[in-house]
A and B are shown apart, each in its own frame.
Chain A
Amino acid sequence: MYITLIFLGVIMATIIGWLLRQTLNSQPWVSEAADDAVSGTSMDTSTKAVALMTFLAVATSVFGLFISAYTIRMEGPDWRPLAEPTLLWANSAMLVLASIVYHWTRNAAVKGNMEQVKPGLTVAGALTILFLLGQIVAWRQLIAAGYYVGLNPANAFFYLLTAVHGLHMLGGLWVWAKSTINVWTGADSDSVRLSIELCTVYWHFLLLVWVVLFGMLLST
């Protein structure tokens, strides 16, 4: 549970620290003109960005808890590490590329360059879909090699963690699909920019999660 504790400790410390800073010097019982002018918006960013950050905290908690469970269960005497398919390296490369292309697309969208956004978005999504297909192929390779899910906790965790990560990826692709359809049906850059920016953050986040998960799977 230490890993979860550290994760959540950092998240909680950030939240509480931020809230304390907001409240420390305030004397709300005194009607102050300076307070009257406050806009009622705490963060100088879009509402959707705040919601995404909150969601990333939730997702971090989910993955952190899975990782904690993994490390605790690993100590059992029946744990037999499985040989990860080499294909995972290729899949990881796809995901890294997807993240890079998404970031490039985001920069294009910020500049309003729709001619770059169209192919960029398409390629980023295609790479992500390739990653997911690659994950499924990796599953099939493992099954073919006899690493069944019920045989060993290491196998079970492998399928579980990749599946949870893949499902998060699918959720991202849902938003990606919406903005891609918008882009190809002639939406201007203003209407899709935010969605692309937030997706980029989400892709980077899921890449980071994958790097952590893959590293953990390889090293144990």
Chain B
Amino acid sequence: MAYVSIADRDHEIEHHDPQTFITKYVYSQDHKVIAIQYGGLAILIGLVGMILSSIFRLQLGFPDTFAFINPENYLQFVSTHGMIMVIYLLTALFLGGFGNYLIPLQLGSRDMVFPFMNMLSVWVYALSVLILIASFFVPGGATGAGWTLYPPQAISPGTPGVDMGIILMLVSLAVFIVAFTMGGLNYVTTVLQARCRGMTLMRMPLSVWGIFMATILGLLAFPALLVSAIMMLLDKTIGTSFFMPAMMAAGEVTDYGGGSPVLFQHLFWFFGHPEVYIVALPAFGIVSDLLSVHARKNIFGYRMMVWAILAIGGLSFIVWAHHMYVSGMNPYFGFFFATTTLIIAVPTALKVYNWVLTLWQGNIHLRTPMLFAIGFIFTFTHGGLTGLFLGNVTIDLPLSDTYFVVAHFHMVMGVSPVLVVFGAIYHWYPKMTGRMYNETLGKWHFWLTFLGTYSLYLPMHYIGFLGVPRRYFAMGNTDFMPDSAITLNTSMTISALIIAATQSIFLYNIIVSLKKGKPAGGNPWKATSLEWMTPDTPPKHGNWGHELPVVHRWAYDYAVPGAAEDYTPQTVPASEVPVGRDHGVDH
């Protein structure tokens, strides 16, 4: 879908528009092109991550069957899969992709406030992806230290990729953070300073709220990853001992001494936990908009939704050590972090209730985006509840490092955000390309993905309860694993392969619909927010033609009692549709 979104402009280039192919599509400073570049690249690298997961699932489901998978590259696949999915796919796609596309369009701006820096951001991101991929092709291959890269093991002999692999991984992360910071400064500043007339903060669609808060979290939390990456690089390359304790490695005493591996864990999770919400908050925001549009109802409790986003953002900085219960800490700390973890469930649960209440008595249209949005409520609730288990110290201790944890975080921050990604792509596809996707294929894509992920991750909880450890290449002759667990591993692998194959339906749909899709028109969903009000679809450079829009109401005036139509766009003045709501009581 890379370039077609604005290809129809060729014959009517305005005077100030970029003129050449290079400035229009490659080194473009238009936020929509940058969004598609960000999104396209993120999806591409995401597919690599998915293929990696299919390969290591083959080993788990059919041990000793595939000769090309050995313990070393198994660990490399697992580690790179995790890193790609969390950072290079989800963070980049939600903020670089949807952030870039939606912020200016939903706020009535012509572009991001610093277009050049925005362009720089996407190309630096591309560089970070390139470095990451390159790590597979250097001597020793990519790092196999797990996506958390814990020292001392990450930079000690015996771990795959201990030579160049880990160095490239750390450099790639640092480069990614530079790219994200350039983008993030843009998103924050644009939201604060470049909205159109009448767009108060509280009239912003929740998508923008989610992306805005996630960007703030990213800007403050990614430095922790940067700091730990720099310090580990120095430990690896010039022999400092920030994280490395005195130890023997490969039978020899190393030069390291006195370093603190737990310090790394603190820094890593100080980034790592907000990262969960960097991915989740945009998903929360976007799913709110999808539910409201396709249920033809205003979002339930808009103000509460905004405050919940703020509360989650604030709290996400004081829960990090719940990832470290088994690393050893003062019991009072464990108590503190378990408490904050449970507290963060309150605003999160509030959001879930509000999504469900938005559906209640709505005029629900079960189109593809809506199916994905409703599917998200299921998977997110499911993953969130197992999070309550793991947030408690005493329950976490036996479950730590088992497949229960893997199942939990895949449900809550793997499957759930990805469902929103798909829903959002289907929802905005008509705006991005001017054409409709194929609804039947979209529904097949949803049901196979949704049911597939459940058949993959529900049994995974069970084998986690049995105590099957994560990250192991093979289980060997273990007594605690009954035959059923072995069989389940095979069935989970088959599910994973089906899910992976299903994504080809999605790719086929979005690629073929570029040419064959029915023309969508400017506002196929009869939605109220500004991006559907652009004079052209897909929107042209500058988005709004000669005049910027003026906003007169919030983005959720669906089925306003007494109004002629079931939606009232944000640009319609109160004088034209004088009816409205007041505290839920009709005038």
Contact = CB atoms under 8 A, between A and B. Distances in A.
Interface of A: 1, 4-5, 8-9, 11-13, 15-16, 19-20, 22-23, 26-31, 33, 35-43, 47, 50-51, 54-55, 57-58, 61-62, 65-66, 69, 72-73, 76-79, 149-150, 153, 156, 160, 164
Interface of B: 107-108, 113-114, 181, 184-186, 188-189, 192-203, 216, 219-221, 223-224, 226-227, 230-231, 234, 238-242, 255, 257-260, 263, 266-267, 270, 298, 302-303, 306-307, 310, 313-314, 317-318, 550-554, 556-557, 573-574, 580-583
Given A39-B197, A54-B185, 15 more contacts: A28-B202, A28-B554, A30-B582, A31-B552, A38-B199, A40-B195, A41-B195, A42-B192, A42-B195, A47-B193, A51-B189, A65-B267, A149-B239, A150-B238, A160-B234
Contacts of A15: 216
A15 to B, nearest CB: 6
Contact of A31 (B193, B231, B550, B580): B580
A65 B224 contact: yes
Nearest to A153: B241
Contacts of B257: 78
Given A40-B197, A47-B113, A156-B234, A28 B303 contact: yes
In the A-B complex, the 7 residue pairs with the smallest Cβ-Cβ separation, listed nearest first, are A40-B195, A78-B258, A150-B239, A31-B574, A156-B240, A28-B554, A26-B202
B258 A153 contact: yes
B260 A76 contact: yes
Contacts of B200: 22, 26, 28, 35, 38
Contacts of A61: 219-221, 223-224
Given A65-B227, A72-B260, A72-B266, A19 B574 contact: no
A2 to B, nearest CB: 11
B554 A29 contact: yes
A12 B266 contact: no
A50 B303 contact: no
A38 B204 CA distance: 13
A155 to B, nearest CB: 8
Contacts, number: 182
A39 B219 CA distance: 26
A62 B223 contact: yes
B310 A58 contact: no
Contacts of A39: 197
A42 B193 contact: yes
Contacts of B302: 28-29
11 contacts: A22-B200, A23-B303, A40-B197, A55-B181, A65-B227, A66-B227, A78-B241, A78-B258, A79-B258, A150-B239, A156-B242
A37 B200 CA distance: 9
A65 B228 CA distance: 9
Nearest to A42: B192
B369 to A, nearest CB: 23
A41 B194 contact: yes
A36 B219 contact: no
Contact of B259 (A5, A47, A76): A76
Given A20-B307, A73-B260, A36 B241 contact: no
Nearest to A77: B258
B232 to A, nearest CB: 11
Contacts of B113: 47, 51
A156 to B, nearest CB: 4
A54 B266 contact: no
Given A19-B201, A43-B193, A160-B234, A8 B227 contact: no
Given A58-B181, A73-B242, A76-B260, A36 B551 contact: yes
B325 to A, nearest CB: 16
B220 A73 contact: no
A28 B198 CA distance: 11
Contacts of A20: 307, 310
A85 B234 CA distance: 23
B202 A54 contact: no
Contacts of B260: 72-73, 76
A76 to B, nearest CB: 5
Contacts of A42: 192-193, 195, 201
